[in-house]
Amino acid sequence: MTAPKLRFEISEYKARLEGTRKAMEREGIDLLIVTDPANMAWLTGYDGWSFYVHQCVLIHGDEDPVWFGREMDGNGARRTIYMDESRIKSYADHYVQSSQYHPMTALGQLVTDLGWSTGSIGIEKDNYYFTHAAFEALSSTLPNASFKDTTRLVKWQRIIKSPREIEYMRGAGKIATAMHQRVAEVLKPGVKQSDIVAEIYRTATRGVDGFWGDYPAAVPMIGAGIDASAPHLTWSDRELRSGESIFFELAGVHKRYHCPLSRTFYLGKPEQKFVDAEKAVLEGMAAGLEKAVPGNSCEDVAQAYYTAIERHGLKKPSRCGYSIGLAYPPDWGEHSASFRTGDRTELRPGMTFHFMSGLWFGDWGIEITESILITDKQAECLAQSPRQLIVIDQ
C-alpha cells in the first residue's frame, strides 16, 4: 500500500503530541485514551466516517500513538495516519453492535498486553463517542487502573492554530462566503427550502479557488418566519413567503476545518423590529471585535457585546461565541473557550472563534455572525459576506 498523503508535516503531528504529553504529565496521566474523532485526527491524521463504532488513539510515554478501531477500518488508518503498521491495532467484527461483546473489552486486553494496565488512565467521559457501556466494559477489564476525566485535555491543546490550519480555515471561509452568495442568488418567494439547501450543498462541495468542500459537522440550520425563533431547526419543503425573514447558519469546510457563518435575509420590506435588531447586533459585534485582541479575555468580548445590545433593550442569555477548527459530527465547536461571562481565557494569536451573535425571541429571530481569527492586531474575519440584514427585493 502506498504511503498516505498527510494533511500536515510529521513534525507538526510530533509537536502536537509533545504538547499533549506535557498536559498529561501535569494531570498525572500515564495513559491517555482519545475517543473524540477530532482529537484523534489532530493527533494522528486519522480521517474516516467510522466514529459510529468504537475507536480511539492511545498515548503513552514517549512512544508514537496507537490507533485502535474496527478491523475493516484498519486500511482507513493506513491511508490517513502518520504512524507505521506496528501502531495499528484492531478488533474483530463480532464486537460491533453486539449484546454479548464490547470493543472496549478488546481495548482493555490490548492495554494489558502492552503493559499499560496499571496507573492513571485518562478518558474522555463527556463526549458523544464514549458511552456509559464503553466505560463499564473498559473499567471491568482494567481493575488495577484508576480513571480520570480528560475530556478537554486535547481540546485545549488545539485552541491555537498552526499556519497550515489557518490556511485551511481561510479556505473554508471562502467556501462559506460562496454559499451565502448562492443563497442570495436563488432566494425568492415560492422557492422551497429544500431546493435552496440543494444549491447550498452543491456550492459547498464544489469549493472555491482550489479549496474543495468537505462535509460539515452539522447540517445547514434554517429558520424561516416563526421558525426563526428556534436556532437549531433544519429545512423542510415549505415554500418561502413574501414578507418573512429566513436565516441560514452554514459552515464552509475544507479538510475537516470549519468556518461557520450566519446571515438573515428578508423577503420584501423588513419590519421595524428587524431593522432595530440589526442595528443592535451590528453595534454589539463591532464592540466585541474591538475587544478580540491578544491580552484580552473571552469574557471581555462577551461583555462588550452584551453591553452594546442592552443599550437597545435586548438581552442574550446564551454565550456569544466559541472556539472552532477541526470538527466531526454532530457539531463544529471545539468545546473549549467560549465568549461568555466568567470565561477568562486569554486571547492569543492563532485562536479562532465563531462569534455567534444570534438573537431568538418568541416568534422571530435574527442571526448575523462571523468566524474570526485572533491576530497580532485586530481580529480577522474568515469569510467576506456583507455583515447586514440582507433584503431581497420583490
CATH number of the 10-157 domain: 3.40.350.10
Domain ranges of the chain: 10-157, 163-392
- Cβ contact 297:288 at 8 Å: no
d(CA 388, CA 281): 9
What percent of the chain is predicted at pLDDT more than 90? 98
HSE value, Cβ hemisphere, 13 Å, CA-based, for 368: 24
DSSP states of 192-243: BHHHHHHHHHHHHHH-BTTBPPPPPSS--EEEEGGGGGSTT----SPBP-TT
Whole-model pTM: value is: 0.97
pLDDT, greater one: 254 or 2: 254
**Are both 10-157 and 163-392 of the same fold?**
no
Q: Residue 74: phi, psi to the nearest 5?
A: -60, -40
Q: Contact at 8 Å (CB) between 68 and 58?
A: yes
- Out of 1.10.260.40, 2.60.40.1580, 2.40.110.10, 3.90.230.10, the CATH code matching 163-392 is 3.90.230.10
Residue whose C-alpha is closest to residue 288's, from 260, 316, 313: 316
Interval 220-242 mean pLDDT? 96
**In the prediction, which pLDDT does 394 show?**
65
Alpha helices in 5-52 (DSSP H): 10-27, 37-44
Do residues 259 and 211 touch, judged by C-beta distance below 8 A?
no
330-366 tens-digit pLDDT: 999 999 999 999 999 999 999 999 999 999 999 999 9
Q: How far apart are CA 106 and CA 19, in angstroms?
A: 28
Residue the block writes with cell 462535509: 215
pLDDT tens for each residue of 46-94: 999 999 999 999 999 999 999 999 999 999 999 999 999 999 999 999 9
